[in-house]
């Protein structure tokens, strides 16, 4: 198969070219985070502006992330056909189109059009993620892949800290909105419609600017020095190992890894996107609670920094994955049962709010741990394998909806029960599922021991 541009083997890049490539991918991860984590503000904001219940408000996350399920495998085929860089350019342009749809949606206060825009942004992001994550996996030794993913995670979560605060600063009016949001629930008729139109109209200009920036970035990434990596050729040893493999579904550790990504991202987005509403239920105003997604992402960055410092010198990336999955399960159970008011960082709220924040720390090394394990020894299947893992990001779409449904039926605290099976599966993958190389036990060799990365 002819490659779209002159391509190189990742092992042939010198240290300078590798550093430049990783820096460019780091910028992409920052942009991913900036666009993605704004949803933590959009969900409660749309809930007010469109008078939604919890389930309806989490359609924001559903529309955004279901695009990964729809687009991930087509994205893999697109990248094989036109290459990484052209594919990234198309991804940025799709995101720009989605952001542009916010303009007519805001001017007409049309929730379905907002959801269409979010879906389109998700389509673009799925292309970018399908391209960017394999780069980080193959640009360097595989035993240090979790380190590189940790650096990318810091770029992503720094943007996640900045984006909600910046977006909130642009669309919220601290002096008047607390009273306005309280009064609008009591209004009726035309007066209420005028106020709601004014509230939702605040997103028009910010997203128009975002659309322009994304379109420009599409051109810039196309012209960047990012190399076109050849992932379609395998060394002789790997070619022999994968000789009988006909599709990505012949790799159990990959398929199970995609399911692990599904549960990981679903639990992560619940922790970030639900904390504002949950803190508000425990006596905080919306304007005070808006800082808690940033606290959660800061806890995640703390985990990344520990990962960069200790992996693989003191602990392997597999051990870090095991620790984080078990910690996630423990925190999820404590959220359900531990109650009581605490004063911390100038906030007085229930202790369970801070346990949700700590979930950010527990989630920090799960993505970084699963990706290198799931893509291990895929060879020529790596692009399609990455597409399958990116498809797992639809967990961000489905799990928050399940959480929102249970929140409406049983309460916000009780709804966190959905996190328990997520972390139980992640524990299974970390301790056993990642080592499965065959769906059926092999004759004379029923278990293939996975090298501890």
What is residue 47's predicted lDDT score, i.e. its pLDDT?
87
Sign of CA dihedral 409, 413, 419, 423: negative
Mean pLDDT is lowest, of 180-189, 333-342, 356-365, for 180-189
- On the question of pLDDT at 53 being above 50, the answer is yes
Residue 113 has pLDDT above 90, yes or no: yes
Q: What's the number of CA atoms in the CB half-sphere (13 Å) around residue 278? A: 28
| pLDDT at residue 447 greater than cutoff 60 | no
| Higher per-residue pLDDT: 395 or 174 | 395
Q: Is residue 334 scored above 90 in pLDDT? A: yes
Determine contact, residues 219/89, Cβ cutoff 8 Å.
Answer: yes
Detail the DSSP E strand segments found in 182-289. 228-229
For the ranges 15-19, 266-270, 326-330, the one whose mean pLDDT is highest: 326-330
Mean pLDDT within 40-56: 85
pLDDT confidence of residue 85 = 80
- Contact between 375 and 389 under an 8 Å Cβ cutoff? The reply is yes
Question: From start to end of 215-370, where are the E strands?
Answer: 228-229, 341-344, 347-350
Q: From 100, 79, 107, 116, select the one nearest 4 (Cα to Cα).
A: 79
For residue 250, is pLDDT > 70?
Answer: yes
Distance CA 421, CA 442 (A): 30
Range from 12-21, 140-149, 425-434 that averages highest in pLDDT: 425-434
Residue 97, token pair as written in the block: 């189109």
Angle in degrees, CA 212, 203, 274, rounded to 5: 115
The C-alpha atoms of residue 91 and residue 335 are separated, in whole angstroms, by 38
State percent of the chain over pLDDT 90. Answer: 30
Phi, psi of 169, rounded to the nearest 5 degrees:
-65, -30
Q: Higher-confidence residue: 370 or 44?
A: 370
Q: Three-state SS for 364?
A: coil
Give residue-wise pLDDT tens across range 273-310.
888 889 888 888 877 888 888 899 889 989 988 888 88
Token readout for 206 is: 């910010």
How far from 440 is each of 141, 143, 212, 446, 452, CA to CA, in Å?
30, 27, 51, 8, 22
Report the alpha-carbon distance of residue 353 to residue 393 in Å, rounded: 25
Percent of the chain at pLDDT above 70? 90
pLDDT number for residue 337: 94
Query: In the 8-state DSSP scheme, what is residue 442?
Result: B
pLDDT, position 446 = 46
**Per-residue confidence (pLDDT) for residue 231, from 0 to 100:** 60
Three-class secondary structure of residue 64 per DSSP: helix
pLDDT confidence of 243, banded at 50, 70, 90? low
Tell me if 113 sits within 8 A of 101, measured CB to CB. Answer: yes
Which H or E element spans position 8?
A: strand 7-8
* Cα–Cα distance for residue pair 45/58, rounded to 1 Å: 11
- Judged by average pLDDT, the poorest of 272-276, 332-336, 384-388, 395-399 is 384-388
pLDDT at 97: 96
**Of the ranges 10-14, 47-51, 308-312, which one carries the lowest mean pLDDT score?**
10-14
Alpha-carbon distance 198 to 178, whole Å? 15
> 114-118, 183-187, 300-304, 329-333 — which is least confidently predicted?
183-187
Which domains does the chain show, CATH number per domain? 14-225+247-435 (1.20.1250.20)
**pLDDT confidence tier of residue 452, bands split at 50, 70 and 90:** very low
Who wins on pLDDT, 338 or 143?
338
Torsion-angle region of residue 306: left (phi > 0), alpha (psi -120 to 50) or beta?
Answer: alpha
* Distance of alpha carbon 123 from alpha carbon 415, whole angstroms: 29
Give the pLDDT confidence score for residue 116 in this predicted structure: 96
Q: What is the pLDDT of residue 267?
A: 94
Query: CA-based diameter of the chain, in Å?
Result: 77
pLDDT for the residue numbered 242: 58
**Tokens of residue 404, six digits:** 């929102």
Backbone φ, ψ for residue 104 (5° rounding): -65, -30
| Highest mean pLDDT, choosing among 18-32, 224-238, 392-406 | 392-406
H/E element holding 7? strand 7-8
Q: What is the mean pLDDT of residues 7-20?
A: 64
Q: What is the token pair recorded at 316?
A: 């392997």
Q: For position 440, what pLDDT does the model report?
A: 78
- Tell me the H-state helices in 83-144: 84-100, 102-108, 111-138
Q: How far apart are CA 13 and CA 30, in angstroms?
A: 24
Interstrand relation of 341-344 and 7-8 (parallel, antiparallel or unpaired): unpaired
* Model pLDDT, residue 399: 92
pLDDT at 232: 59
Pick the most confident of 10-19, 125-134, 243-252, 260-269.
Answer: 260-269
Tell me: the pLDDT tens digits for 390-404? 888 889 888 988 998
In whole angstroms, give the CA distance from residue 410 to residue 415. 7
Predicted confidence (pLDDT) at residue 382 exceeds the cutoff of 80:
no
Please state the rounded mean pLDDT for residues 330-343: 93
Whole-number average pLDDT of the chain = 84
Sort residue 444 into left (φ over 0), alpha (ψ -120 to 50) or beta. Answer: left
What pLDDT digit, counting tens, does each position of 62-86 carry?
A: 898 888 888 878 887 888 788 778 8
């Amino acid at each position: 198969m002819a490659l779209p541009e002159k391509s190189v083997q990742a092992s042939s890049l010198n240290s300078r070219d590798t550093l430049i490539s990783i820096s460019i991918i780091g910028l992409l991860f920052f942009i991913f985070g900036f666009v993605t984590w704004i949803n933590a503000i959009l969900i409660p904001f749309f809930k007010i502006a469109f008078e939604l219940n919890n389930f309806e408000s989490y359609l924001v996350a559903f529309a955004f992330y279901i695009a990964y399920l729809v687009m991930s495998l087509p994205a893999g085929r697109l990248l094989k056909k036109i290459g990484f860089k052209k594919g990234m350019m198309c991804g940025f342009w799709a995101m720009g189109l989605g952001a542009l749809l916010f303009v007519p949606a805001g001017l007409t206060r049309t929730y379905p059009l907002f959801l269409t825009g979010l879906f389109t942004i998700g389509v673009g992001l799925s292309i970018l993620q399908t391209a960017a994550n394999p780069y980080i996996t193959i640009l360097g030794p595989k035993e240090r892949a979790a380190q590189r993913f940790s650096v990318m995670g810091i770029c992503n979560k720094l943007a996640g800290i900045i984006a909600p605060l910046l977006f909130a600063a642009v669309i919220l009016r601290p002096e008047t909105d607390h009273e306005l949001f309280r009064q609008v629930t009591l209004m009726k008729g035309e007066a209420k419609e005028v106020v709601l139109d004014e509230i939702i109209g605040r997103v028009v200009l910010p997203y128009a600017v975002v659309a322009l920036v994304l379109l420009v970035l599409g051109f810039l990434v196309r012209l960047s020095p990012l190399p076109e990596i050849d992932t379609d050729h395998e060394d002789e040893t790997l070619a022999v190992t994968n000789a009988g493999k006909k599709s990505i579904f012949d790799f159990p550790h990959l398929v199970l890894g995609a399911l692990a990504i599904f549960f990981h991202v679903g639990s992560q987005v619940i922790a970030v996107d639900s904390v504002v509403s949950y803190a508000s239920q425990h006596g905080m105003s919306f304007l005070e609670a808006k800082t808690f997604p940033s606290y959660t992402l800061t806890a995640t960055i703390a985990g990344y920094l520990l990962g960069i410092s200790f992996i693989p010198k003191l602990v392997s990336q597999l051990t870090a994955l095991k620790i984080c999955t078990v910690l996630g399960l423990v925190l999820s159970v404590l959220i359900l049962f531990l109650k009581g008011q605490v004063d911390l960082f100038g906030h007085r709220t229930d202790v369970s709010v801070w346990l949700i924040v700590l979930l950010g720390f527990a989630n920090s090394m799960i993505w970084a741990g699963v990706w290198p394990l799931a893509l291990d020894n895929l060879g020529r299947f790596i692009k399609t394998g990455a597409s399958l893992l990116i498809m797992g990001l639809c967990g961000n779409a489905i799990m928050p909806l399940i959480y929102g449904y249970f929140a409406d039926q049983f309460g916000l605290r009780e709804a966190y029960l959905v996190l328990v099976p997520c972390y139980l599966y992640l524990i299974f993958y970390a301790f056993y599922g990642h080592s499965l190389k065959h769906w059926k036990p092999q004759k004379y060799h029923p278990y293939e021991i996975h090298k501890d990365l």
